[in-house]
Amino acid sequence: MNSTVIMMTVTMIITNMMMILNLILSKKTISDREKSSPFECGFDPTSSSRVPFSLKFFLIAVIFLIFDIEIALLLPSMPTMYLSNMNQWMLTSTLFIMMLIIGLYHEWNQGALNWVK
């Protein structure tokens, strides 16, 4: 118990020291307007260097990540089927899959999966 507290304290001290060192060393100098402007072969840019980002792609990426994590949570449930009580396993897996289906229905109902509106 005592060694765990000491180890946690040492870890916190080292982490905080590294964060403070990072703040000290990464101070940016005063940026001027010319350094922060986009560079196009010595000419002034003809258009904006910032391209608008489509939120639909971001939404699809977030939905993909959510369902990817859910599949990663489902994969270990098959080997645990033989190690646990069958009634409890069926109840938990059914509840988990129902939550996934309800989430998919909610996203579909909100129009998050429609590309063309």
**Whole-prediction pTM:** 0.47
State the burial class of residue 22 (Cβ atoms within 10 Å of its Cβ: 0-12, 13-18, 19+): exposed
Q: Which residue has the tokens 């060694």?
A: 3
Chain segment 12-52, per-residue pLDDT in tens: 999 999 999 988 887 665 566 666 666 666 666 666 666 67
At residue 6, the pLDDT reads 92
Q: Which residue has the tokens 């998050």?
A: 112
At residue 74, the pLDDT reads 84
Locate the domains of the chain by residue range.
55-110
Q: Which two tokens stand for residue 51?
A: 């391209």
CA dihedral 89, 91, 97, 101 (to 10 degrees): 180
- Beta bridge partners, 22, equal none
- Alpha carbon 76 to its chain centroid, in Å, reads 21
